[in-house]
Structure 1
């Protein structure tokens, strides 16, 4: 069965490998793995590490690497999608649909008008922050419970909603999350977040957060990132537990799969302390069919698996892409 991965840091990887003189990274490195895993669609993120010096410069560098990759690519293999129609084209023609997103807007600083430029460059999903506190909001790594969404972040959301950019709430602090929920006019998505009740870490969502996302027509992308699957023993079976929990809590129609595989980022020196063990049985894109098989073994019907694996996100994009 085909799968749409709602979060991958592939654009970061493209930039990383470009610095080392490698080109055509999507086709030569990622395409075979995506095909092996039967992944026909990806939400590819530009992520800026807030811990590095001059994150804005790095952000612009990654935007350039992405644009260059798209320009040089053989589009027989990929559809760089900005509309739902283009995603349908990819599905019909056995191509990989690539939606582009921004994971954390630290790279724009206070210049929220640059969101319009990012939209024109083809970005259709954005999150305000990663784990850090930036000029827009507090991320889940913030120790100050009083910090959340600020006025500039509120204005950024207004711009996004006017343009038709989907807001990703993964990585927000709990206060930022509820501040966002108070003002959003459209459904939101947690592209790669798991269940706090099963793995109590700040990156995961509590039951009331999951419920409010679902009530507004949003989605939760269950992740394979080991540190949010299980703090002691992350396994593919534990990922199934997260899926089952959300299904029982709010229903099948609000689940998608945002794996956040990090195996290909191990060569990045700045991440060497965080990219270590992987979730056993679901270490990379090629292992996705094993998850689909395990869902069936755990009693999910073919229709339910289809919804989880790609249709829910596909339908969400149809309703919410600008």
Structure 2
């Protein structure tokens, strides 16, 4: 086995040549927050250098609606985050550029920039109306999670516990239509009954953008082996989540995250393993600083991710952990982005 330094050097080289796709990083809400404070161009000016340092070539940007804005302002929150991202890149697209198709992603990468793809995490505020989802699709959204952990008119999130139901009629229509448009259905926060409805009604691949293996860490946000198989059978991908509690409740480490990757690969094949970091730490800390006296903010409050891998620039350390776990360089390239790019290249399907 090569020394750790040699593995990290190899990982750095992999990240330079691979198309690294992060399927879930909560940057959009941070961009909106910064713009409200008068800061402009943060996607290329603040986030772009971090993404580039980690070799990220495609960043999926989910919108997220905080509970305090529900129900009346849910749609407004989604739209203002989409607008913030678009406005930010209109003002400064030196490093990051929006993309809504595989051809656009390829073009952005060929021009040496990072492709940003819009997504929606939780359809709260849409009132169960698939027509509003069609509008979001026309605005460039290419991945949709019907729920966060809450209940809405489309489906129940896993936070509803044993009371959770499956998809509503509106949810079933939405899942079918997303398949027709070529929008990826994301099941990471969906209650289990809803998950199996998606497996039944989705036309084409569906994904879990940021979830781990329940067999390795028994957490409700992680997926059972049967769920892993259902995603794989659809042609979809499971994006590994870097949030500590979903890796190991006692000792979340890169080696343990590599255990999740190995379990998923052993269960359904490496072709269905990806990355969805779920990074949010920067926004949590900056928002807290803006809300209270900075001296009162304890950074330990936000120690929710692995300290050695909590930002995009740290991602080569994860790849080094995969190499140490026995993954080949070709397999690591698939995990880093090749597998998610396969799903992003799928065309809209005929109804």
- TM class by smaller structure: over 0.9
- Report the equivalent of 2:312: 285
**How does 1:156-171 map onto structure 2 within 5 Å?**
156-171=174-189
Q: Distance in 2 between matches of 1:249 and 1:300?
A: 15
Q: Which has the larger radius of gyration?
A: 2
Judging changes above 3 Å, is the alpha-carbon distance between structure 1 residues 105 and 305 closer, same or farther for their aligned structure 2 residues? same
- Report the equivalent of 1:209: 227
- Report the equivalent of 2:7: none
* Structure 1 residue 104 corresponds to structure 2 residue 122: yes
The equivalent position to 2:193 in structure 1, one of 172, 175, 182, is 175
- Report the equivalent of 2:87: 68
Contact 1:12 1:47 in 2 (8 A): yes
Task: Look up the SS of the partner of 2:40 in the other structure.
Answer: coil
- Report the equivalent of 1:295: 322
Alignment size in residue pairs: 320
Q: How far is the alpha carbon of 1:216 from its aligned partner?
A: 1.6
- Report the equivalent of 1:308: 335
- Report the equivalent of 1:77: 95
The equivalent position to 1:49 in structure 2, one of 46, 66, 70, is 66
The equivalent position to 2:287 in structure 1, one of 268, 277, 282, is 268
The equivalent position to 1:114 in structure 2, one of 109, 127, 132, is 132
The equivalent position to 2:244 in structure 1, one of 226, 240, 252, is 226
Contact 1:194 1:221 in 2 (8 A): yes
Q: How far is the alpha carbon of 1:107 from its aligned partner?
A: 3.0
Judging changes above 3 Å, is the alpha-carbon distance between structure 1 residues 293 and 276 closer, same or farther for their aligned structure 2 residues? closer
Q: How far is the alpha carbon of 1:315 from its aligned partner?
A: 1.8
Q: How far is the alpha carbon of 1:274 from its aligned partner?
A: 8.2
Judging changes above 3 Å, is the alpha-carbon distance between structure 1 residues 51 and 202 closer, same or farther for their aligned structure 2 residues? farther
Q: Distance in 1 between matches of 2:275 and 2:147?
A: 21
- Report the equivalent of 2:4: none
Task: Look up the SS of the partner of 1:303 in the other structure.
Answer: helix
Judging changes above 3 Å, is the alpha-carbon distance between structure 1 residues 191 and 229 closer, same or farther for their aligned structure 2 residues? same
Q: How far is the alpha carbon of 1:48 from its aligned partner?
A: 1.1
Q: Distance in 2 between matches of 1:159 and 1:60?
A: 20
Contact 2:121 2:148 in 1 (8 A): yes
- Report the equivalent of 2:6: none
Q: Which moved more, 1:64-73 or 1:165-174?
A: 64-73
- Report the equivalent of 1:200: 218
Task: Look up the SS of the partner of 1:311 in the other structure.
Answer: helix
Contact 1:173 1:202 in 2 (8 A): no
* Structure 1 residue 144 corresponds to structure 2 residue 162: yes
Task: Look up the SS of the partner of 1:117 in the other structure.
Answer: helix
* Structure 1 residue 241 corresponds to structure 2 residue 259: yes
Greater helix content: 2
Q: How far is the alpha carbon of 1:146 from its aligned partner?
A: 4.6
Structure 2: any 5+ residue segments left out of the alignment?
1-13, 292-296
Q: How far is the alpha carbon of 1:265 from its aligned partner?
A: 1.7
TM-score, with structure 2 as normaliser: 0.86
* Structure 1 residue 20 corresponds to structure 2 residue 37: yes
Q: How far is the alpha carbon of 1:141 from its aligned partner?
A: 0.7
The equivalent position to 1:38 in structure 2, one of 35, 42, 55, is 55
Q: Distance in 2 between matches of 1:32 and 1:66?
A: 16
Q: Distance in 2 between matches of 1:230 and 1:293?
A: 19
Q: Distance in 1 between matches of 2:347 and 2:159?
A: 29
Task: Return structure 1 stretches of 4+ with deviation > 6 angstroms.
Answer: none
Alignment deviations for residues 123-158 of structure 1 (CA, whole Å, 9 cap, x no partner): 111110000001110011112345121111112112
TM-score, with structure 1 as normaliser: 0.93
Structure 1: any 5+ residue segments left out of the alignment?
none
